[in-house]
Amino acid sequence: METIVRVEHCHKTYGTFRALTDLSFSAGRGECVALLGPNGAGKTTMIKILYGKARRDPHPETRVEVFGLDPEEHELTIKQRTGVVQQENNLDDELNVVQNLKIFARFYRMKPSRARARIEELLEFMELSEKRDQPVKALSGGMKRRLVIARALLNQPELLFLDEPTTGLDPQVRQLIWDRIRALTRQGVTVLLTTHYMEEAYHIADRIIIMDHGKSLLEGNPRELVEKHIEPQVVEVLIPSYTPPSGDSLRVEHSEERTLVYAPSREELETFTAELPAGSYFIRPSTLEDLFLKITGRRLKDGQ
């Protein structure tokens, strides 16, 4: 697989704060790679370094390449081949949907005929055709987010940066965006995604990187990581200060109002939950969110 993004031993500090520490990863053509981590983990900082909005710290062992080019030396060349969806929608509220897209088409120096055709393609792709003449300020949050993604796709990018693309959106819009991301990767577009939604990363990412304090803690295919690094079954006991029976195969995590007991099989959990009051517990398969919390911890950190 052709490597589109290569990061080796990347560091970034803001004053005394270390945003990135010795971070390394790569992304291949047509691959969706998700950066996961608590607020302040360094996800957005890494994205900004890749598209030239932030400068990495100078270290002799550091190597950062997009399409084989250093973003610090070839920022404009890289931007011509990429699309960026930032956390904020940053649309022009005084213009309508088509006008917002036309302005960006001019930035890419697209011929008017090509721009019109591409805009029509994207309005249909993001299911916005019926809103083409609506002012942006009249759109819902989900429509605005789809418009931002459409705008990022105007230049038919080979690499798409998505910084928390579905935060605050309803399930229908989120599912539509997931489908569009899948379609793009099938077309050979590389997607680099940051998200707080574990379900999102699990369903659309080929590979995830769990980060904390600017470091990579775990990397791999989300399904394989869940199978390898966490017990397959968990019971959530909704009894404060509950003390489960001890057992070599059981792992226990406590929160203020819940106790979570992880086990290799559902049968091992059923041996003691049968004695609990009805409605005070439920057994379920472990998820990527369980693994994320196991790796990064359940306690809130500074900045969260």
Q: Give the domain CATH number at 88.
A: 3.40.50.300
Using one digit for the tens of pLDDT, what is the confidence trace for 232-283? 999 999 988 888 888 788 999 888 788 999 999 999 999 889 889 999 999 9
pLDDT surpassing 80 at residue 200: yes
Give dist(CA 132, CA 225) in Å, integer. Answer: 42
Q: Answer with the one of 195, 226, 257 that is the final residue of a domain.
A: 226
Q: What is the mean pLDDT of residues 68-96?
A: 93
Please indicate, yes or no, whether residues 110 and 69 belong to a single structural domain of this protein: yes
Residue 299's pLDDT is what? 62
pLDDT surpassing 60 at residue 119: yes
pLDDT surpassing 90 at residue 178: yes
Percent of all residues in the chain with a pLDDT value above 90, rounded to a whole number: 83
Please indicate, yes or no, whether residues 24 and 140 belong to a single structural domain of this protein: yes
Give dist(CA 12, CA 23) in Å, integer. Answer: 10
Please indicate, yes or no, whether residues 148 and 210 belong to a single structural domain of this protein: yes
User: Residue 158 domain-assigned?
Assistant: yes
Q: How many domains does the chain have?
A: 2
Q: What is the mean pLDDT of residues 39-59?
A: 94
Q: What is the pTM of this model?
A: 0.91
Residue 68's pLDDT is what? 97
Q: What is the mean pLDDT of residues 33-52?
A: 94
Please indicate, yes or no, whether residues 237 and 209 belong to a single structural domain of this protein: no
Q: What is the mean pLDDT of residues 85-104?
A: 92
Neighbours of 138 (CB within 10 A): 11
Residue 298's pLDDT is what? 60
Please indicate, yes or no, whether residues 124 and 211 belong to a single structural domain of this protein: yes
Please indicate, yes or no, whether residues 134 and 281 belong to a single structural domain of this protein: no
Please indicate, yes or no, whether residues 172 and 248 belong to a single structural domain of this protein: no
Please indicate, yes or no, whether residues 194 and 278 belong to a single structural domain of this protein: no
Q: What is the mean pLDDT of residues 65-69?
A: 97
Residue 103's pLDDT is what? 94
Instruction: Please give the mean pLDDT across all residues of the chain.
Output: 93
Residue 304's pLDDT is what? 44
In degrees and rounded to multiples of 5, residue 159 shows phi and psi of -135, 130
User: Residue 31 domain-assigned?
Assistant: yes
* Pair 28, 3: CB distance under 8 Å: yes
Please indicate, yes or no, whether residues 221 and 240 belong to a single structural domain of this protein: no
Could you list the residue range(s) of the whole structural domain that residue 144 is in? 3-226
User: Residue 302 domain-assigned?
Assistant: no
User: Any long-range contacts for 132-136 (C-beta under 8 Å, 24+ apart)?
Assistant: 132/96, 132/97, 132/98, 133/96, 133/97, 133/98, 134/96, 134/97, 135/93, 135/94, 135/95, 135/96, 136/91, 136/92, 136/93, 136/94, 136/95, 136/96, 136/97, 136/100
Residue 302's pLDDT is what? 54
Please indicate, yes or no, whether residues 68 and 214 belong to a single structural domain of this protein: yes
User: Residue 290 domain-assigned?
Assistant: no
pLDDT surpassing 50 at residue 120: yes
User: Residue 301 domain-assigned?
Assistant: no
Q: List Cβ neighbours of 127 (8 Å cut-off, separation of 6 or more).
A: 146, 176
Please indicate, yes or no, whether residues 139 and 248 belong to a single structural domain of this protein: no
pLDDT surpassing 50 at residue 89: yes
Please indicate, yes or no, whether residues 247 and 105 belong to a single structural domain of this protein: no
Neighbours of 116 (CB within 10 A): 15
Residue 157's pLDDT is what? 96
